[in-house]
């Protein structure tokens, strides 16, 4: 779908997928049940928009936002539990999660910190460095999803 529409697509779920129009994709398996709460997708959309406004490319903004969002969900789950957290609680931990990016304050992909929990599904190259490489030649035919779909 990302290739067809020429856009970056985020499919939020237990394994969130960030797909680019060039066939690259990243997978985050760091989500928790707290992020299944009403309104948390709106927080993710706001994170993406904020990172775009700071000059990140759409693909890196979406990938970074997914990482921050999962870290924020982890922080809220640790303090409130997965069933008791609300979307607004994510905003309370945003400053702590945002500090993860301070070591790579430039918006360029080569200076992004190691994000660990996200891996590439395919693509032409690039990636955010560290734990988020894009590997391989893309998904067959430029379509499909994570292995097993």
Q: Quote the pLDDT of residue 100.
A: 80
What would the 3-class secondary structure string for 31-44 be? CCHHHHCCCHHHHH
Q: Quote the pLDDT of residue 74.
A: 94
For every one of its 149 residues, what pLDDT tens digit does the chain have, with 9 covering 90 and above?
A: 999 999 999 999 989 999 999 999 999 988 789 999 999 999 999 999 999 999 999 999 999 999 999 999 999 999 998 888 999 999 999 999 998 877 654 333 433 333 444 444 433 333 333 334 343 333 333 333 333 32
Burial 32-51 (b: 16+ CB within 10 A, else e): eebbebeebeebbeebbeeb
Q: Quote the pLDDT of residue 123.
A: 38
Q: Quote the pLDDT of residue 142.
A: 34
Q: Quote the pLDDT of residue 23.
A: 95
Q: Quote the pLDDT of residue 104.
A: 52
């Amino acid at each position: 779908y990302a290739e067809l529409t020429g856009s970056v697509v985020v499919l939020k779920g237990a394994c969130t997928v960030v797909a680019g129009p060039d066939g690259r994709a990243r997978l985050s398996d760091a989500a928790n049940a707290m992020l299944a709460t009403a309104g948390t997708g709106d927080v993710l959309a706001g994170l993406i928009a904020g990172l775009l406004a700071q000059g990140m490319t759409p693909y890196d903004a979406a990938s970074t936002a997914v990482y921050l969002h999962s870290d924020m969900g982890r922080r809220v789950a640790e303090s409130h539990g997965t069933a008791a957290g609300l979307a607004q609680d994510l905003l309370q931990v945003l400053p702590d999660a945002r500090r993860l990016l301070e070591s790579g304050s430039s918006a360029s992909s080569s200076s992004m910190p190691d994000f660990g929990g996200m891996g590439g599904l395919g693509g032409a190259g690039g990636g955010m460095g560290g734990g988020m490489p894009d590997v391989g030649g893309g998904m067959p035919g430029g379509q499909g999803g994570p292995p097993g779909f």
